[in-house]
Amino acid sequence: MTPETAKRVEGCTAVLVLSDGTVYQGVGCGATGEVLGEVCFNTAMTGYQEILTDPSYMEQIIAFTFPHVGNVGVNAEDVEQLGDDPRRAARGAIFRDAPTPPANWRSTLSFNDWLTARGIVAISGIDTRALTRRIRENGMPHGIVAHDPSGDFDIPALVHKAAAWKGLGGLDLAVNATVTQPAGFTTDLWQWPQGFSQGTRHDFKVVVIDYGVKQNILRALVDIGADVYVVPAQTPAEAILDMAPDGVLLSNGPGDPAATAIYAVPVIRQIIAAGVPVFGICLGHQMLGLALGAATLKMSQGHHGANHPVKDKTTGKVEIVSMNHGFAIDQATLPAGVVETHVSLFDGSNCGIAMTNAPVFSVQHHPEASPGPVDSLYLFERFAENMRVYKKVAA
């Protein structure tokens, strides 16, 4: 409905207002107040806590296409962001059904109470199928989720705020998502039945440039035997190389890669010139592409979910992967010496690149999953093999 036809529906305690004036009414959950951002949809059936704590979702509002949320509750272990600042992840959420009570042995808190504690403003009772179809046809809109138990909303004012927002284009968010001080990380991947444990192998030293890293990326590095050191996004190349890493990982993160590239690209180029193996993921993939001379572009609806088919062109294997990105490398701009290694089977967009004469590669999707399938975990082993070769040569 439009602002002119948005008469209050009985029981309405929350609204989703889009920049074109479209209004969805529903029932509020989570925190009260309002949140502004880019509205995208995520097709994952599980992992709502990991999704909402992924720093790549900063300044975004997530519409979950799977109708049921809350059934496994939440816990302290499944938070993906480093640190406890909830502003470094998604701030708004949209659900078809209201969150249900938890029924899982790992749960320590109900989902709705957790949303409230994190300050996530959410709305339920929305026709998420219609909203998803709208995004698929028209792209990701700017919008506001507002929650007020009184049901009293100034719709024209909310429309004006949404329309006035400049969006993610040209916005460097990595500078806000990154750690502020270098830090080590030692936790291994979750295993049944003991859960998380501390890594015991020390085969490699990996420096992770943190643009908004997920913890499961760090755990996957520990799992291949790495001593992991996380450094802020604006750390100079000299400081990174002084740490004598066997490899450098360029992490995922939020925002426009072209904006982050202003300070990230010179660092990445120096690391590549030093011969150190490099592995990029998501925003790190886009950063690598820009450093090698390619261009990036804003996608209409992006890729957000845990069921995306991607083909590894180096092996011919098709993987089902987890994705979360609204920008991509323009494959038509890949320079000589750089090859496309992975491609989306949904839309043919680029999902991986590699240098032909250096141990440098990256992927757009999330091989660490969390949530999602683990078809692509082999990429960490590929990175490990590059580091083994590098160590032998360096010796």
Q: Each residue of 147-178: pLDDT tens digit?
A: 999 999 999 999 999 999 999 999 999 999 99
Catalytic position from the list 142, 304, 325, 366 = 366
Q: What is the pLDDT of residue 7?
A: 64
Q: Report the chain's C-alpha Rg in angstroms.
A: 21
Arithmetic mean of pLDDT, 197-205: 95
Picking from 107, 129, 164, the residue at the C-terminal end of a domain is 164
> Do 340 and 212 fall within a single domain?
yes
The H helix count followed by the E strand count for the chain is 10, 17
Q: Which of 185-199, 246-260, 290-304 has the lowest mean pLDDT?
A: 185-199
Q: Are strands 317-330 and 295-312 parallel, antiparallel or unpaired?
A: antiparallel
Q: What is the pLDDT of residue 4?
A: 45
pLDDT the model gives residue 193: 87
Q: Does 224 lie in the same domain as 137? A: no
- Given a cut of 80, is residue 319 above it in pLDDT? yes
Answer yes or no: are the C-beta atoms of 289 and 250 closer than 8 Å.
no
Same-domain check for residues 157 and 19? yes
| Catalytic residue list contains 282 | yes
Mean pLDDT of 281-303: 98
Q: Which residue among 106, 141, 164 closes a domain?
A: 164
70 and 197 together in one domain: no
Q: Which of 145, 164, 183 corresponds to the end of one domain?
A: 164
Q: Give the pLDDT band of residue 305 (cuts 50, 70, 90).
A: very high
Instruction: Kindly state the average pLDDT of the residues 195-209.
Output: 96
Do 157 and 25 sit in the same domain of this protein?
Answer: yes
In sequence order, the 6+-apart residues with CB closer than 8 A to the CB of 224 are 203, 204, 380, 381, 383, 384
Judged by phi (left if over 0) then psi (alpha if -120 to 50, else beta), residue 30 lies in left
Same domain, yes or no: 208 and 71? no
Q: Are residues 213 and 315 in the same domain?
A: yes
Q: Are residues 125 and 220 in the same domain?
A: no
Catalytic residue among 40, 282, 325, 365: 282
3-class DSSP state of 106: coil
Give strand pairing partners of 195: 191
Q: Which amino acid is at 291?
A: A
Give the pLDDT mean for 278-286: 98
CA-to-CA distance for 218 and 81, rounded, in angstroms? 11
Same domain? For 258 and 211 the reply is yes
Q: What is the pLDDT of residues 74-126, one digit of tens each?
A: 999 999 999 889 999 999 999 999 999 999 999 999 999 999 999 999 999 99
What is the pLDDT, as a whole number, of residue 6? 52
* pLDDT exceeds 70 at position 347: yes
Structural domain that includes position 362 = 174-394
Q: Report the alpha-carbon distance of residue 323 to residue 231 in Å, rounded.
A: 24
CATH number of the domain encompassing residue 300: 3.40.50.880
Q: Measured between alpha carbons, how far is residue 249 from residues 117, 124, 176, 276 in Å? A: 32, 38, 19, 10
Q: Where are the alpha helices (DSSP H) in the chain?
A: 48-52, 111-118, 128-138, 155-164, 174-177, 215-223, 237-242, 257-273, 283-291, 378-394
pLDDT score of 130 more than 70? yes
Per-residue pLDDT for 266 more than 80? Answer: yes
The pLDDT tens digits of the residues spanning 246-263 come to 999 999 999 999 999 999
Distance CA 240, CA 233 (A): 11
Q: Are residues 380 and 248 in the same domain?
A: yes
Distance between CA atoms of residues 26 and 124, nearest Å: 6
Q: Catalytic: 368?
A: yes
Judgement on whether residues 112 and 179 belong to the same structural domain of the protein: no
245 shares its domain with 388? yes
Domain count, the chain: 2
Cβ–Cβ under 8 Å, residues 146 and 30: no
Q: At 266, which amino acid appears? A: P
pLDDT on residue 393: 80
Which candidate in 50, 59, 319, 368 is catalytic? 368
